[in-house]
Chains A and B, each alone.
Chain A
Amino acid sequence: MSAMAHPLAPDARPVNGRDLAWLVLSLVIVSAPHALRAPWWLTGLTLMLFAWRIVLSTTRSPLPSRWILFALAALAMFGIWAEYRILFGRSPGIILLMLFSGLKLLEVRTHRDATVVVFLCYFLVITNFLYSQSIPTGIAMGVALVVVTAALVSFNAPQRGARPDLRTASLLLAHAVPAALVLFVLFPRVQGPLWSLPQDAHSGVTGLSETMAPGNLAQLARSDAISFRAEFDGEAPPQPLRYWRGPVLWEFDGRTWRMGPTTRGALPEAAPSLPRYRYSVVIEPHDRNWLYGLETVVEPPPQARVTSDGRLLARDPVRRRLRYDLASVADLQVDSADGSDARALALPAGFNPRARALADTWKAAGPDDARLARAIAHLRDGNYAYTLEPPLLGRDSVDDFLFGTKAGFCEHFASAFVFLMRAADVPARVVTGYQGGELNPVDRIITVRQSDAHAWAEVFLQGRGWVRVDPTAAAIPGRIEAGLARALPSDAALPLLMRPQLEWLRGLRNNWEALTHQWNVWVLGYNPDRQRDLMAYIGMRDADWRKLTAILFTVLGGFTVVLVLWSLRLRVRPDPVQRAWLAFCRRLRNAGVDRAPHEGPRDFAQRAAQQLPHASASITDIAQRYLSLRYGKHAAPSEVDGFRRRVREIRLT
Chain B
Amino acid sequence: MPAPGAARRPRWRALLERPRLARWFYGYRAPERGTVILGHRRVYIVPTRLGWMFGATLGLLLVGAINYALSLGFVLTFLLAGLGLAGMVHTTRNLARMAISAGRVEPVFAGESAQFRLFLDGRVAFDRPSILVRHLGAGAQLVTDVPAGKLAEVVLGVPALRRGWLGLGRVMLETRYPLGLFRAWSYVEPDARALVYPRPERAPLPLPSARTDAGAARAQARGSDDFSGLRSYQASDSPRHVAWKAVARGDELLTKQFSGESAAELWLDWHALPSDLGVEDRLSRLAGWVLAAEQAGAHYGLRLPGTEFAPAHGDAHRTACLQALALFGTS
- A residues with a Cβ closer than 8 A to B are 1-7, 9-11, 111-112, 115-116, 119, 122-123, 125-126, 129-130, 133, 137-138, 141, 145, 149, 152-153, 155-160, 164, 168, 172-173, 175-181, 183-184, 187, 189-195, 197, 201, 319-320, 523-527, 556, 559-560, 563-564, 567-568, 570-572, 597-598
Task: Output the least CB separation between B202 and chain A (Å).
Answer: 28
Q: Could you say which residues of chain B place their CB within 8 Å of the CB of A129?
A: 68, 70, 72-73, 76
B141 touches which of A6, A149, A523, A527 (Cβ 8 Å): A6
> Could you tell me the distance between the alpha carbons of A189 and B83 in the complex, rounded to whole angstroms?
21
The answer to whether B68 and A184 touch across the interface, beta carbons within 8 angstroms, is no
The answer to whether A523 and B71 touch across the interface, beta carbons within 8 angstroms, is yes
The answer to whether A597 and B125 touch across the interface, beta carbons within 8 angstroms, is no
Q: Could you say which residues of chain A place their CB within 8 Å of the CB of B33?
A: 597
B83 touches which of A9, A172, A564 (Cβ 8 Å): A172
Determine whether B85 belongs to the interface, using a CB cutoff of 8 Å to chain A: yes
Q: Which 10 A-B pairs have the closest CB atoms?
A: A597-B34, A176-B82, A179-B82, A183-B78, A175-B86, A3-B144, A567-B93, A157-B129, A1-B152, A180-B78
The answer to whether B67 and A195 touch across the interface, beta carbons within 8 angstroms, is yes
Report if A115-B180 is in contact (Cβ < 8 Å); known contacts: A122-B57, A175-B82, A192-B66: yes
The answer to whether B79 and A145 touch across the interface, beta carbons within 8 angstroms, is yes
The answer to whether A567 and B89 touch across the interface, beta carbons within 8 angstroms, is yes
B80 touches which of A122, A137, A567 (Cβ 8 Å): A122
> Could you tell me the distance between the alpha carbons of A9 and B132 in the complex, rounded to whole angstroms?
10
Determine whether B46 belongs to the interface, using a CB cutoff of 8 Å to chain A: no
Closest to B143 in A: A6
Report if A572-B180 is in contact (Cβ < 8 Å); known contacts: A11-B49, A194-B63, A525-B71: no
Within B30-77, the residues touching A (CB, 8 Å) are 33-35, 40, 48-50, 53-54, 57, 60-61, 63-77
The answer to whether A524 and B93 touch across the interface, beta carbons within 8 angstroms, is no
The answer to whether A130 and B68 touch across the interface, beta carbons within 8 angstroms, is yes
Interface of B is mostly: mixed
A126 touches which of B34, B70, B81, B177 (Cβ 8 Å): B70
Task: Output the least CB separation between A430 and chain B (Å).
Answer: 33
Q: Could you say which residues of chain B place their CB within 8 Å of the CB of A123?
A: 57, 60-61
Task: Output the least CB separation between B81 and chain A (Å).
Answer: 6
The answer to whether B73 and A115 touch across the interface, beta carbons within 8 angstroms, is no
> Could you tell me the distance between the alpha carbons of A559 and B86 in the complex, rounded to whole angstroms?
10
Among B70, B75, B133, B176, max chain A CB count under 10 A is at B75
Convert B142-185 into 0s and 1s, putting 1 for each residue whose CB lies closer than 8 angstroms to a CB of A: 11111111111111000000000000000000001111100000
> Could you tell me the distance between the alpha carbons of A168 and B77 in the complex, rounded to whole angstroms?
20
Task: Output the least CB separation between B115 and chain A (Å).
Answer: 13
Task: Output the least CB separation between B31 and chain A (Å).
Answer: 12
Determine whether B1 belongs to the interface, using a CB cutoff of 8 Å to chain A: yes
> Could you tell me the distance between the alpha carbons of A180 and B148 in the complex, rounded to whole angstroms?
30
> Could you tell me the distance between the alpha carbons of A178 and B82 in the complex, rounded to whole angstroms?
8
Report if A180-B81 is in contact (Cβ < 8 Å); known contacts: A3-B143, A156-B177, A570-B126: yes
Closest to A112 in B: B50
The answer to whether B142 and A6 touch across the interface, beta carbons within 8 angstroms, is yes
What 19 new A-B contacts, CB under 8 Å, besides A129-B70, A177-B79? A4-B143, A6-B143, A10-B176, A111-B180, A115-B50, A119-B57, A122-B61, A123-B57, A125-B76, A129-B76, A156-B130, A164-B127, A180-B75, A183-B81, A192-B68, A193-B67, A319-B69, A564-B89, A571-B124
A153 touches which of B78, B146, B178 (Cβ 8 Å): B178
Q: Could you say which residues of chain A place their CB within 8 Å of the CB of B78?
A: 179-181, 183-184, 187
Task: Output the least CB separation between B171 and chain A (Å).
Answer: 14
> Could you tell me the distance between the alpha carbons of A111 and B124 in the complex, rounded to whole angstroms?
28
The answer to whether A176 and B68 touch across the interface, beta carbons within 8 angstroms, is no
Q: List 19 A-B contacts (CB under 8 A).
A: A10-B132, A119-B53, A126-B65, A137-B72, A141-B72, A156-B177, A157-B177, A177-B79, A180-B78, A180-B79, A181-B78, A187-B74, A193-B69, A197-B67, A197-B68, A559-B85, A567-B89, A572-B122, A597-B34
Q: Could you say which residues of chain A place their CB within 8 Å of the CB of B61?
A: 122-123, 126
The answer to whether B76 and A126 touch across the interface, beta carbons within 8 angstroms, is yes
Determine whether B313 belongs to the interface, using a CB cutoff of 8 Å to chain A: no
Determine whether B255 belongs to the interface, using a CB cutoff of 8 Å to chain A: no
> Could you tell me the distance between the alpha carbons of A564 and B89 in the complex, rounded to whole angstroms?
6
Closest to B65 in A: A126
B180 touches which of A155, A190, A319 (Cβ 8 Å): A155
The answer to whether A7 and B141 touch across the interface, beta carbons within 8 angstroms, is yes
The answer to whether A176 and B85 touch across the interface, beta carbons within 8 angstroms, is yes
Among A173, A177, A183, A556, max chain B CB count under 10 A is at A183
Closest to B54 in A: A119
Q: Could you say which residues of chain B place their CB within 8 Å of the CB of A164?
A: 127
Among A9, A319, A320, max chain B CB count under 10 A is at A9
The answer to whether A116 and B53 touch across the interface, beta carbons within 8 angstroms, is yes
Q: Could you say which residues of chain B place their CB within 8 Å of the CB of A116?
A: 53
Q: Could you say which residues of chain B place their CB within 8 Å of the CB of A5?
A: 141-142
Task: Output the least CB separation between A35 and chain B (Å).
Answer: 20
Determine whether B256 belongs to the interface, using a CB cutoff of 8 Å to chain A: no
> Could you tell me the distance between the alpha carbons of A133 and B3 in the complex, rounded to whole angstroms?
49
Closest to A571 in B: B124
The answer to whether B81 and A157 touch across the interface, beta carbons within 8 angstroms, is no
Task: Output the least CB separation between B189 and chain A (Å).
Answer: 15
> Could you tell me the distance between the alpha carbons of A145 and B176 in the complex, rounded to whole angstroms?
20
> Could you tell me the distance between the alpha carbons of A68 and B180 in the complex, rounded to whole angstroms?
31
